[in-house]
Copies of this chain bind each other. A is one copy, B any other.
């Protein structure tokens, strides 16, 4: 199963940190690639630097155009939105196979709701696309991301009860 995340409505500067968080969540939870609809070379650099330091083969591509990506994706397109159907009952309807998870920002074009196979609400309340993505991926993978190895890179964290530990790889 390949999991990709498509981030919509990214505005440089204003969304810089939030989109970075979306990418970090995706990487930590085992997503293969994040596609950002709008171009942002700075964001690509930030994320590639994390991959260089901490390993794994996570990819990022910006400036992809959401319509093209959604039209060409062979697999299930899941749009996370507070207006969608409840997570608990809808996540069971996702067929096996590749998944494109679409997360917006404040304004998502109406056609995204129709191009998506499933519109899923991680709570029908004003929410955070970062938080919704994290919970969705955790549930989708059944928490298997916790066993994921990030090969390569320069360093790794040593889990510690009270303090910080890092070692060179």
Binding site for B on A (CB under 8 A): 14-15, 17-18, 20-22, 24-25, 27-29, 50, 54, 82-88, 110, 113-114, 116, 119, 121-128, 130-135, 138-139, 143, 145-146, 150, 156-157, 159-166
Partner among B14, B119, B122, B156 whose Cβ is within 8 Å of the Cβ of A161: B119
Partner among B18, B113, B121, B126 whose Cβ is within 8 Å of the Cβ of A50: B126
Are A87 and B146 interface neighbours, CB within 8 A?
yes
Q: How many of these chains are in the complex?
A: 2
Which residues of chain B come closer than 8 Å to A145, judged between CB atoms? Answer: 123
Task: Tell me, rounded to whole Å, the shortest Cβ–Cβ distance linking A72 to chain B.
Answer: 20
Can you list the 5 inter-chain pairs with the closest CB atoms, starting with the nearest?
A131-B134, A21-B128, A25-B131, A124-B157, A130-B130
Which residues of chain B come closer than 8 Å to A15, judged between CB atoms? Answer: 17
Residue of B nearest to A18 (CB): B17
**A38 to B28 CA separation, bound complex (whole angstroms):** 29
Task: Tell me, rounded to whole Å, the shortest Cβ–Cβ distance linking A108 to chain B.
Answer: 9
Assuming the contacts A87-B146, A130-B128, A130-B130, asked whether A119 and B24 have C-beta atoms less than 8 A apart, the reply is no
**A129 to B112 CA separation, bound complex (whole angstroms):** 28
Task: Tell me, rounded to whole Å, the shortest Cβ–Cβ distance linking A36 to chain B.
Answer: 16
Which residues of chain B come closer than 8 Å to A87, judged between CB atoms? Answer: 146
Partner among B88, B127, B138, B164 whose Cβ is within 8 Å of the Cβ of A28: B127
Task: Tell me, rounded to whole Å, the shortest Cβ–Cβ distance linking A46 to chain B.
Answer: 10
